[in-house]
Chain A
Amino acid sequence: MTPLAGYLVLSSLIFTVGLAGVLTRRNAILVLIGIELMLNAANLNFIAFWRFGANPEALTGIMFMIFAMGVAAAEAAVGLAVIIAVYRRCKTTNLDEMKLLKG
């Protein structure tokens, strides 16, 4: 296995673990953690392709990764604020018990 393939397989594994968590766990915070894992797997792909791909001096992979990180940080902040607001109203973080649209 070439080095790039190793990094890609690792990032697919992390993505899959995050996806499995999002699909199976029922706690809203855990779902958010799964989404963070998936975003980080994508970031690892950006860096691996920057390192082993063509034209690394253009820094495209690192730039993509920095911007993806900024967007992911914004997503985490807003997502956790939504979870806290829902918890105040419904007193639960279990996704199966969040059934009200206009609680």
Chain B
Amino acid sequence: MSLPFVILALLTAAAAMGAMSLRPLVHCVLALVVSLSGLACLYLQLGAQFAGFAQLLVYIGAVGILIVFAVLLTRGDAMPPRRSLVQGRVFGLGVAVSVLGVLVWAISRSCLMSPTLPPAPVATVEQIGDALMTRFVLPLELVGLLLTAALMGSVMIAMQEGEDK
């Protein structure tokens, strides 16, 4: 394992843990953005330039800002201190740790792991566009339809209350 991978992995994992454990909601969102940036850097390190920059644009540019707006609109920081649900938290953490254990066990026992590193594949934007317009054109259209429906649906859901009054 290379040093850049170790640094990026530590940063990403630590930021993900921060996003799930910090108390102020805005700090959680900022930690999530750091974690997503770390993932984008990992994509770039893996040679998937388009995926890395798409991650930057979509997740940090759009989803991050969307979550910040939702936090501001719902005034999440003004939440009263929650009642302690120790039982639920212990149960949730136990489930998560056991899932991690099973996954790591399966990865370590897998026979897919060849120690030889294959040569870095190239994925230029031209190739990706070509594939999107030929072989994957139907999924692309479907994603366009889905995004349009999601756009209209979210506007409808968020507006509904105002029309009632």
Task: Write the residues of chain A forming the contact surface with B, with a CB cutoff of 8 angstroms.
Answer: 1-10, 12-27, 29-30, 32-34, 36-37, 40, 43-44, 47-48, 50-52, 56-57, 59, 61-63, 65-67, 69-78, 80-85, 87-89, 92-94, 96
Q: A43-B39, A52-B118, A61-B48 are in contact. List 9 more A-B contacts (CB 8 A).
A: A23-B93, A29-B74, A37-B32, A47-B43, A48-B46, A62-B48, A71-B143, A77-B154, A96-B82
**Chain B residues in 8 Å Cβ range of A17:** 13, 16-17, 19-20, 96
For this complex, 8 residue pairs linking A to B, each with C-beta atoms less than 8 Å apart, are A20-B92, A29-B74, A36-B32, A67-B139, A70-B143, A76-B63, A78-B150, A85-B157
Count contacts on B: residues with CB < 8 A to the other chain: 85
Instruction: Report the minimal beta-carbon distance from A75 to chain B, rounded to whole angstroms.
Output: 8
Chain A nearest CB: distance from B3 CB in Å?
A: 12
Q: How far is the CA of A33 from the CA of B15 in the complex (A)?
A: 12
Of A20, A47, A71, the residue contacting B48 (CB under 8 A) is A47
- Total residue contacts A-B, CB cutoff 8 A: 231
- CB of B125 to closest CB in A, whole Å: 11
Partner of A19, one of B67, B70, B96, B108: B96
**Chain B contacts of A50 at CB under 8 A?**
46, 48, 121, 123
Chain A residues with Cβ below 8 Å from B92 are 20, 22-24
Residues in A whose Cβ lies below 8 Å from that of B46 = 7, 47-48, 50-51
Contacts known (A23-B91, A26-B85); A80 close to B66, Cβ less than 8 A: yes
Partner pick for B20 among A20, A69, A76, CB 8 A cutoff: A20
B64-92 vs A: 1/0 string, CB under 8 Å? 00110111011010010010010011011
Known: A30-B28, A59-B128. A87 touches B73 (CB 8 A): yes
Q: How far is the CB of B142 from chain A (nearest CB, A)?
A: 9
Q: Which residue of A lies closest to B19 (CB)?
A: A33
A13 touches B121 (CB 8 A): no
Across-interface contacts of A61 in B (CB, < 8 A): 48
In the complex, what residues of B have CB within 8 A of residue A18's CB? 16, 20
Known: A30-B28, A69-B55. A93 touches B74 (CB 8 A): yes
Closest residue of chain B to A24 (Cβ to Cβ) is B92
Nearest residue (CB) in B for A54 is B118
